[in-house]
């Protein structure tokens, strides 16, 4: 199958585990969470600590590769730990956390335990980054980066793929061996996964095309309207977010590629600026396909305004 990069844009407060934590954090957790360490052979823990220290004093690519290789062994040992051992250590972890001060991590462990008791995925909170997004914030996961969406609602966009691999926190079939073999084992802070939106130069307010749509000049000859662009570092997709108040309009220039649109709140319509599109009513849940090369205008028709997300490639 194809590689599967994806992006999630929060619609509500949204919690996710994404990508491996920096090596210092993983070592700290291996040393301070005895129930986690009990699931991994001590020799592999020591190998990872040594590889982390080597990588900290050398910028050599081979030491970085050795650190990633060592993390793979640690993660594989964790994900393939015997179920009875996992169950025992989950119980021990919950008992210990019940007498400690609550933190976002300990609260998440308890929540996950209620939903997936004795699941190995509970321990992934100690090796993956925990991120909480506010509406409008977004994360990008490159191909081969582990993640789990914990709570909240999002707009999710991904490349065409038939190779979703699951290993924990799911009632669906799991394929631990292939998951372990497909990850990149890159270790970064959670903030490195954030995608920050920017004003899109292809929008503007009005209904008759070109610079006549008004908006603010972006300095490159483009128009800045009520559309934000989320542009992750892959070619397969980008996303536009349009947020309109009642009776506001927003024009989109023709995009040189196909688009899929979903309306997430409010009501309105999309009107084609050319002959081939026509007019479509929009309400929460409406999904539209827009072919390449079509100019369109978005119109909000309710007191709640209109919000749409438009995934496209160009």
**pLDDT tens-digit profile of 194-220?**
999 999 988 776 443 333 333 334 344
Closest CA to 294 of 311, 313, 271: 271
**Is beta strand 203-204 parallel, antiparallel or unpaired with respect to 306-312?**
unpaired
pLDDT at 300 over 60: yes
Q: How far apart are CA 307 and CA 314, in angstroms?
A: 22
Instruction: Look at the alpha carbons of 230, 23, 72, 105 in this order and tell me if their dihedral is positive or negative.
Output: negative
The active-site residue, picked from 72, 166, 174, 301, is 166
In this structure, are residues 19 and 186 in contact, taking their beta carbons and an 8 Å threshold?
Answer: yes
pLDDT at 81 over 80: yes
Q: How far apart are CA 294 and CA 311, in angstroms?
A: 14
CB < 8 Å & 24+ apart, contacts of 27-31: 27/52, 29/126, 29/127, 30/74, 30/126
Please give the backbone phi and psi of residue 195, each rounded to the nearest 5 degrees, phi first.
Answer: -115, 120
pLDDT digits (tens, 9 = 90+) for 252-261: 999 999 999 9
Of the listed ranges 147-161, 209-223, 243-257, the one predicted with least confidence: 209-223
Q: How far apart are CA 276 and CA 289, in angstroms?
A: 13
The reply to whether 166 belongs to the active site is yes
Q: How far apart are CA 17 and CA 147, in angstroms?
A: 5
Q: How far apart are CA 196 and CA 169, in angstroms?
A: 28
Residue 76 has what pLDDT? Answer: 93
Q: How far apart are CA 7 and CA 232, in angstroms?
A: 8
Q: How far apart are CA 6 and CA 123, in angstroms?
A: 23
Q: How far apart are CA 285 and CA 169, in angstroms?
A: 27
Q: Taking all residues of the chain, what is their mean pLDDT, rounded to a whole number?
A: 87
Label residues 286-312 b or e (16+ Cβ within 10 Å = b).
bebebeeebbbbbbbbbeebbbbbbbb
pLDDT tier for residue 167 given thresholds of 50, 70 and 90: low
Q: Tokens 């993956």 belong to which residue?
A: 128
Percentage of the residues of the chain whose pLDDT score is greater than 70 = 87
β-strand partners of 260: 289, 311
Percentage of the residues of the chain whose pLDDT score is greater than 90 = 70
Q: How far apart are CA 192 and CA 251, in angstroms?
A: 32
pLDDT tier for residue 26 given thresholds of 50, 70 and 90: very high
């Amino acid at each position: 199958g194809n590689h599967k990069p994806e992006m999630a844009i929060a619609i509500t407060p949204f919690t996710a585990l994404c990508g491996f934590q920096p090596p210092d954090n993983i070592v700290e957790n291996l040393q301070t969470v005895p129930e986690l360490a009990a699931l991994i052979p001590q020799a592999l823990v020591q190998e990872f600590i040594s590889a982390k220290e080597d990588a900290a004093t050398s910028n050599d690519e081979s030491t970085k590769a050795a650190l990633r290789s060592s993390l793979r062994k640690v993660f594989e040992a964790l994900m393939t730990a015997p179920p009875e051992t996992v169950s025992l250590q989950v119980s021990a972890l919950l008992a210990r956390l019940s007498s400690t001060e609550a933190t976002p991590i300990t609260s998440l462990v308890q929540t996950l335990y209620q939903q997936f008791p004795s699941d190995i995925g509970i321990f992934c909170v100690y090796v993956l980054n925990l991120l909480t997004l506010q509406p409008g914030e977004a994360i990008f996961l490159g191909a081969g980066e582990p993640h789990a969406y914990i709570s909240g609602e999002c707009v999710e966009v991904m490349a065409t793929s038939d190779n979703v691999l699951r290993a924990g926190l799911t009632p669906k079939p799991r394929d631990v061996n292939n998951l372990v073999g497909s990850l990149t084992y890159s270790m970064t802070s959670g903030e490195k996964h954030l995608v920050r939106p920017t004003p899109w130069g292809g929008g503007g307010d009005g209904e008759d095309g070109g610079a006549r749509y008004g908006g603010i000049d972006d300095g490159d000859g483009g128009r800045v309207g009520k559309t934000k662009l989320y542009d992750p570092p892959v070619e397969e997709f980008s996303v536009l977010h349009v947020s309109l108040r009642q009776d506001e309009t927003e024009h989109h220039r023709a995009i040189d590629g196909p688009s899929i649109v979903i309306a997430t709140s409010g009501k309105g319509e999309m009107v084609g600026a050319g002959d081939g599109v026509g007019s479509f009513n929009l309400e929460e849940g409406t999904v539209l396909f827009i072919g390449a090369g079509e100019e369109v205008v978005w119109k909000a028709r309710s007191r709640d305004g209109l919000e749409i997300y438009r995934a496209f490639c160009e």
